[in-house]
Amino acid sequence: MKPTMILAPAMLGMLGGGQLGRFFVIAAHEMGYQVTVLDPDKNSPAGKIADVHLCANYDDADALKQMAQTCAAVTTEFENVPAKTLETLAESVVVRPSAASVAIAQNRVLEKNFIKNAGLPVAPFAVINSTHDLPEDASSLYPAILKVARFGYDGKGQARVKNQAEALSAFTDFKHEVCVLEQMLPLDLEVSVVLARDADGNVEAFSTAENSHLNGILDISIVPARCSEVLKANAREIAKKLAEKLDYIGVLGVEFFVVGHQILVNEIAPRPHNSGHYSIDACVTNQFEQQVRVMTGLPLGDASLHSNAVMVNILGDSWFAGAKKDAQNDVSAPAWNKALSHANLKLHLYGKHEPRKGRKMGHFTVIGQDKQAVLNAALIARSELHVGES
């Protein structure tokens, strides 16, 4: 028998209270649902606007018991929630994505091996469990990037290495944690695909985004990506195959490297993705509404793009860069009035209580029908907000 749909005003649960959780709460509220957020930060951006904020750790027995008793379904906003937490909740409520899917995505070794064993393209890599696993200088893997297997994101827990000595030094800096050594490739492009897959295997994939990073953190996403239609379609097809192989139910972000005509899976995120934020303003259905739809058993929404879009991340660095001209203050809010003078710019601030360098404080998306005009306006606004400066 097909599971019954969970309809509003049911209570939904969100593990994690950052900006992704906040956008989920907004989407759920707009659809008539209530939301309980579990997050240990009393200043949690999602917790501030949720119906219930359980300010506790993700393995807190009492908090999990309350979620299990009050929520009809639970999801997560980031992959580092303990898989055991998801398993515990799944005993009594609908949990999407599954603990098994999240466990693969939160460990680079499991992730890389899964992609490879699924027959999908991935860059050459080696698993580093000890110093004995580090290849000698003659290895074709060098130059490479050494990445910790767990808890690395936004460029954290990564080091570029040219030879065995540099790899050994980095491995020591990472306190001999299990790592993946990945061949550094001459990239032509980085792209990503966000998709939603429901319990019946139906998939709605968003447009392929072209991404550029700064200091390991996503800086700009251009949608649609400025590459061939064949390449964009290939990225979507690989992402769909990956979701199918994972038996994934939820919203999934898949990042790719493009080298010539070759497209390689870089990593996966079992949740909405930063590069999919453009969907809030440029798509018929955004990635957070899709997250609500999947976990409640509603039909997937139309993910079509109705406008060209350029999304720009706003980091805490912008507050410090703007303060350079003001000797009296260390921090100065960016010139929002300048950015908002662009009529087709949509500003989203995350409600974080203090700016820090490297911290994602918000983003803006410029939309329109003229691709070049959209990009030009986004780059002007980026400069006006001191994005990319520190």
- Place 216 in a pLDDT band, splitting at 50, 70 and 90: confident
Region of poorest pLDDT, from 134-143, 195-204, 304-313, 315-324:
315-324
- In the block, which residue shows the tokens 């027959």? 119
256 and 161, same structural domain?
no
pLDDT in the model for residue 3: 58
Average pLDDT, the chain: 94
Q: What is the DSSP string of 348-363?
A: EE---SS--TT-EEEE
Question: Which residues on adjacent β-strands are paired with residue 210?
Answer: 191, 222
Please state the pTM of the whole predicted model.
Answer: 0.94
Structural domain range at position 159: 124-183
pLDDT in the model for residue 179: 96
Question: Does position 268 have pLDDT exceeding 80, yes or no?
Answer: yes
CATH code at 130?
3.30.1490.20
pLDDT in tens, 2-41: 558 999 999 999 999 999 999 999 999 999 999 999 999 9
pLDDT in tens, 65-95: 999 999 999 999 988 898 899 999 999 999 9
How far CA 103 is from CA of 36, 114, 129, 277, 361, in Å, comes to 23, 11, 19, 24, 28
pLDDT in the model for residue 164: 97
Q: What is the Cα–Cα distance from 113 to 149, expressed in whole angstroms?
A: 12
Question: Does position 152 have pLDDT exceeding 70, yes or no?
Answer: no
Number of domains in the chain: 3
CATH code at 64?
3.40.50.20
Strand-pair category, 11-15 with 34-38 = parallel
Question: Does position 323 have pLDDT exceeding 80, yes or no?
Answer: no
Q: What is the Cα–Cα distance from 355 to 336, expressed in whole angstroms?
A: 15
- Place 1 in a pLDDT band, splitting at 50, 70 and 90: very low
pLDDT in the model for residue 332: 87
pLDDT in tens, 276-310: 999 999 999 999 999 999 999 999 999 999 999 99
- What sign does the CA torsion over 305, 306, 310, 312 have? negative
DSSP element (H, E) containing 193: strand 189-197
Q: Which residue in 374, 381, 118, 373 sits closest to 245, CA to CA?
A: 118
Q: Give domain status of residue 198, yes or no.
A: yes
260 and 313, same structural domain?
yes
303 and 202, same structural domain?
yes
132 and 247, same structural domain?
no
User: What SS3 state is found at 313?
Assistant: strand
261 and 137, same structural domain?
no
275 and 169, same structural domain?
no
Q: What is the Cα–Cα distance from 331 to 179, expressed in whole angstroms?
A: 37
pLDDT in the model for residue 157: 87
Q: What is the Cα–Cα distance from 309 to 312, expressed in whole angstroms?
A: 10
DSSP element (H, E) containing 374: helix 371-384
Percent of the chain residues topping a pLDDT of 90: 89
58 and 199, same structural domain?
no
- Place 153 in a pLDDT band, splitting at 50, 70 and 90: low
Question: Does position 325 have pLDDT exceeding 60, yes or no?
Answer: no
Per-residue pLDDT, averaged over 156-172, amounts to 94
137 and 65, same structural domain?
no
226 and 153, same structural domain?
no
Q: Give domain status of residue 85, yes or no.
A: yes
Query: Do 287 and 251 form a contact (C-beta atoms < 8 A)?
Result: yes
Residue 56, number of CB atoms within 10 A of its CB: 16
314 and 197, same structural domain?
yes
